[in-house]
Homo-oligomer: A and B are copies of this chain.
Amino acid sequence: MPAKWTIGIDIGRTNLRAARVEGGVPVKVLRERTDVPGGPRGVVEQVRSAVDELSEGEQAGGLGVGIAGQCDILRGLVRYGPNLWWPDVPFGEMLSSATGLPAVLRNDVTMATFGEWRFGAGAGSTDMVCFYVGTGIGGGAIIGGHLLEGASGCGGHLGHISVQMDGPMCSCGRRGCVEAYAGGANLAARVRQELADDPTISTALRAAGDLDLIDARTVAGAAVDGDTYALEVRDGMAEALSSAVASTINSLNPTVVVLGGPVMSGFPSLFEMVADRSLELCLRSALDGLRIERPSLGDLAGVVGAATLAIR
């Protein structure tokens, strides 16, 4: 009989989290920096070592792994991802062989969505949508009581909904993706460019010194301090995010929309602005029973979801 506890791993661009999870509760958690320079082998070794430590000599009932990238679940590949881009590496197979456990591999936000659905903000619902706004924008959905996976496991890339056909170029190669407007990396790049181009923009951000060091956190901090320019940046993010959220509501008719991630929570009032504006924009018929929520599992949604999906 397999153990009742399973292991969930969340491999982000900078942080790796691992947990032993029982009944949706992370009973032991490890956090470390992702060994990006070590490449896929380095990361697999990190996972092996974490599984070892969490198992305490016992055998886990399953292993789920979420990773920041576009996964091909049919072949266990990580096809595309800003830092973790190993298109031809059989990552799922490597994980399974290193740990001795069949690894269930998915996108990190897919895993977080599953966690929030089973044990978090979406518990009890049958139709739920998640947007996680961080360096990029990830998404996930539960549809009719099933996790959205897509034909090859790439479903849920809601950050690549274009909200403006002629908008700014996104890293994916098309224009106006909501990630191009409100993903941390893109918004910081735009702010750095605007400050460099226009010396009349007077802002606390410029006072900080080296423009090259400005990131989404710096911009959010300036907005918290009431900087006019940073607040305008936030307003633009809110409008783009609201458009993508409303389009997703119209497409999927969920009862719960979860808006999370460090960039979403870092800017003052951004969550409230997006929640209010999305409900204004979407179809009246989609409003029945609809609520917009913050995530409730914090940065452990991914490991809880991964560990729980591994039970199936």
Interface string of A124-168 (1 = CB under 8 A from B): 011100000000000101011010111111111110111111100
Identity of the chain B residue whose Cβ is nearest the Cβ of A77 in the assembled complex: B285
Comparing A3-11, A92-100, A206-214, A243-251, the segment that makes contact with chain B is: A243-251
**Which of B152, B281, B282 is close to A285, meaning CB atoms less than 8 Å apart?**
B152
- The CA-CA distance from A275 to B245 in the complex, in Å, is 25
Q: Chain copies in the assembly?
A: 2
Whether B165 pairs with A164 at a CB distance below 8 angstroms is yes
- Contact B150–A252 (Cβ < 8 Å): yes
A interface bracket (residues with beta carbon within 8 Å of B) = 35 or more
A288 touches B (CB below 8 Å): yes
* Docked CA distance A148–B248 (Å): 13
Q: Which residues 80-110 of A sit at the B interface, judged by CB distance below 8 A?
A: 80
From residue A134, how far is it (CB to closest CB) to chain B in Å? 18
Q: A72-B285, A162-B243, A283-B160 are in contact. Are A148 and B79 (CB under 8 A)?
A: no
**When the two chains form their complex, are residues B281 and A174 in contact, meaning their CB atoms are under 8 A apart?**
yes
Flag if A161 contacts B126 (CB, 8 Å).
no
Q: Which of A255-303 contact B (CB under 8 A)?
A: 255, 281-286, 288-290
Q: Does A34 contact B (CB under 8 A)?
A: no
CB of A162 within 8 A of CB of B127, answer no
> Beta-carbon contacts of A214-252 to B below 8 Å, as 1s and 0s?
000000000000000000000000011001001110111
With a CB–CB cut-off of 8 A, which chain B residues contact A176? Answer: 164, 243
CB distance from A120 to the nearest CB of B (A): 18
> Contacting A144 at CB < 8 Å: which of B148, B240, B243, B253?
B148
Main secondary structure of the interface of A (DSSP, over half): loop
Which residues of the partner chain B approach A172 to less than 8 Å between Cβ atoms? Answer: 283
Residues of B within 8 A of A153 (CB): 253
Closest CB-CB distance, A188 to chain B, in whole Å? 21
A254 at the interface (CB under 8 A from B): yes
Chain B residues near A154 (CB, 8 Å)?
A: 253, 283, 285-286
Q: Which residues of B contact A251 (CB under 8 A)?
A: 139, 141, 155-158, 161, 248, 251
CA distance A221 to B146 in the complex (A): 44
Could you pull out 14 A-B pairs where Cβ atoms are within 8 angstroms?
A: A80-B283, A80-B284, A126-B151, A127-B155, A143-B155, A148-B252, A150-B254, A152-B286, A154-B283, A161-B161, A161-B250, A162-B281, A163-B164, A173-B281
